[in-house]
Amino acid sequence: MKKLIAKLVVAASVMVAALSGAAFAASAIVENAKSLCIVGEQADGYLGIIDAGKASAELRREVGAVNQQRKAYYSQIAQKNGVTIEVAAAMTAEKLITQASPGQCVRDSTGQWKRK
């Protein structure tokens, strides 16, 4: 069990590095929305829309595209490590939430949005 957890932590670190790379870089519209707490990182490893009234159609499309990319990558990590996509996503979410900038909003495992 400890080996599996260690493997997942390493995989999550690799994933966070990949998500911050060019292939997974969020567009300017997503980054701006994160800074305004319209969009935020969630405990499930995906971006969530916090304020639907302020989320344009373009922003919704961008969030959807980022989440599709993440799910595909989580699937690869999960398969490689013998875990579910949800486990791979949750392990990465911890890192993404920790790395969120001050002032951004994040959603914890209880479903509460909080400003960092």
CA distance 83 to 7: 11
Give one word for 82, left, alpha or beta, with left for phi > 0 and alpha for psi -120 to 50.
left
Domain assignments of the chain as residue spans, ordered by start: 2-115
Tell me the whole-structure pTM to 2 decimals. 0.81
- What are the pLDDT tens digits along the chain (116 aa)? 665 555 555 555 555 555 554 445 679 999 999 999 999 999 999 999 999 999 999 999 999 999 999 999 999 999 999 999 999 999 999 999 999 999 999 999 999 999 99
Query: What CA–CA distance (Å, rounded) separates 102 from 80?
Result: 33
The answer to whether the CB of 90 falls within 8 A of the CB of 43 is yes
Is-contact 36 28, C-beta < 8 A? no
